[in-house]
Amino acid sequence: MIDLHTHTLFSDGELVPSELVRRAAVIGYTAIAFTDHADISNLDFIIPRIRHACSKINEKKGLIAVPGIELTHVHPEDIAELARQARSLGARIIVVHGETIVEPVMPGTNRKALESDIDILAHPGLISDEDAELAARNGICLEISARKGHCLTNGHVAKTALQYGARLIVNTDTHAPEDLISLERAKWTAQGAGLSEDDFSRMLDTSRELVKKAMER
């Protein structure tokens, strides 16, 4: 299992990075990204600390830990600049908190995120055809979410992504230990969204490619 959307005590998660890594490794994870919630107020605080934690974890040559960030509830017009700042601070995976139907995310967030230098648009809700096509054109992954609430639109995201050739990825959006999932449950999440076994295999390949690219940055 590769999971590129998780949270630690640096935002609203329950665990420090070392415990999150340990729990993930025990259930079979091979790579994990810490993508704590951030906006202009804490971007420069979180990323250096996550980078340091990942560096220490990766010295042990076990599970790969990737420093990342999730730009969350920021004004759409600020996404591109904050993504640039996150890259300069060392975030290797940039996630944007998409227009999930269970939170009051500002309209236009999906579009501005997909026009920016990011890697993953998380739980993009009822994403439009135009935005799915933009994701495909810009090589940005659309997330199939295992998280309660956000998963309600997985079927729509999967169908629209396949129609326009956008890449898909399955993540947990983990905040607590029980949010971590096995590879089998990740497969069930994909199948529950109407995706085939071949689709799921491609999603795993995409996750591996993102980790490889991130660690080469």
- Per-residue pLDDT of the chain (217 residues), as tens digits, is 999 999 999 999 999 999 999 999 999 999 999 999 999 999 999 999 999 999 999 999 899 999 999 999 999 999 999 999 999 999 999 999 999 999 999 999 999 999 999 999 999 999 999 999 999 999 999 999 999 999 999 999 999 999 999 999 999 999 999 999 999 999 999 999 999 999 999 999 999 999 999 999 8
pTM of the model: 0.98
Distance CA 143, CA 127 (A): 11
For the chain, domain boundaries:
2-216
Rounded CA-CA distance 98/116 in Å is 13
Dihedral in degrees, nearest 10, Cα atoms 109, 208, 13, 25: 170
Residues 6+ apart with CB under 8 A from 3: 24, 29, 31, 32, 33, 171, 172, 174, 180, 181
Residues 56, 18: Cα–Cα separation, whole Å: 9
Look up the CATH superfamily of 2-216.
Answer: Metal-dependent hydrolases (3.20.20.140)
211 Rama class: left (phi>0) / alpha (psi -120 to 50) / beta: alpha
Distances (CA, A) of 129 to 12, 14, 42, 77, 191: 32, 36, 33, 21, 22
The pLDDT score that the predictor gives to residue 129 is 98
**Secondary structure class of 209 (helix, strand, coil):** helix
Cβ(91)–Cβ(104) below 8 Å: no
